Copies of this chain bind each other. A is one copy, B any other.
């Protein structure tokens, strides 16, 4: 069913139908006739052909590393809220943490096309930077700092440093850390360096062999924590780079070393609500994930609608949660 057929059936020109659809001049009687035919045939204009013509889609593509993550769904919640308000729709693409797929989908979005792209980033390779620099549609990066490009990110280093200080002052002696790949500048490098810096400020250091690198999954957190606990009988505290990893660490204690349950503390990052609900809450960092989604979407739409003169980098704060003093209430 095309606009031509509708025109023919209604006995008008396709231009008249187009005007009817887009609010141009059409006489009342033709309007009525067209309405009737459209109603009867269930005709829908091809968005595709329209976009080819108008060069805008009111669509935003969002590339995410995975969807089974509370963190990411908070960000996309924020994005979705703004897009909805502004009359845009959101298309999501997941990449399973596969950088190649990230590029693929960014290209798909670029010439499918959409009006803009938001990338929730983990690892930014040289190819990523090149693509972001050269792409013709607006791109906003969320979760990583990228100098010279539009991005909204969190103060991972600062938060981790404060967490390090908390741990350093807690009186615990044997401290372990489970991080993630340092290729991830925010979660890997930022949190690890910040944490160590915080410890150092209290005159504490981590011993060799007490630093592990996990993937972004609970299973991986479980494995690394298991190794730590198996090889070290006197660990006091395990700080984890994400709450998901921390959940794995909790599992390791509970399942394989239940006798040490009382003597080991776990800390995390991300303020995972699920974890908080079922455990009562471990010390963790609350980042404004929903806010970063909101800010990122607002920035993108502003660029789409008003063009861009200079790039914007936005850093968001944090809050440490469930520290000792708060836990007394229970």
When chains A and B are docked, how far (Å) is the Cα of A279 from the Cα of B280? 12
Known A68-B73, A73-B66, A96-B80: A250·B277 in contact at CB below 8 Å: yes
A107 beta carbon closer than 8 Å to chain B: yes
Within the complex, which residue of B68, B92, B104, B108 is in contact with A92, where a contact is CB–CB below 8 Å?
Answer: B92
Judge whether A213 is part of the interface by a CB distance below 8 angstroms: no
Main secondary structure of the interface of A (DSSP, over half): helix
State whether A254 touches B274 (Cβ < 8 A). no
A275 within 8 A of B: yes
Contacts of A275 in B (CB 8 A): 274, 278
Which of the segments A41-49, A145-153, A204-212 contacts the partner chain?
A41-49
CB distance from A33 to the nearest CB of B (A): 23
Chain A interface, number of residues (Cβ within 8 angstroms): 55
Contact across chains for A104 and B90 when beta carbons are under 8 A apart: no
> Chain B residues with Cβ under 8 A from A271's Cβ?
none
A218–B107 CB distance below 8 A: no
B49 near A67 (CB under 8 angstroms)?
Answer: no
- Could you tell me the distance between the alpha carbons of A73 and B277 in the complex, rounded to whole angstroms? 21
CB contacts (< 8 Å) of A96 on chain B: these are 80
Indicate whether A15 reaches chain B with its CB closer than 8 angstroms: no
Per CB-CB distance, the 5 closest pairs between chain A and chain B, nearest first, are: A68-B73, A92-B92, A251-B277, A67-B67, A67-B73
Identify the A interface with B (CB < 8 A): 42, 44-49, 51-52, 59, 66-70, 72-74, 76-77, 80, 89-94, 96, 104-105, 107-108, 110-113, 134, 218, 222, 244, 247-248, 250-251, 254-255, 258, 273-275, 277-280, 330
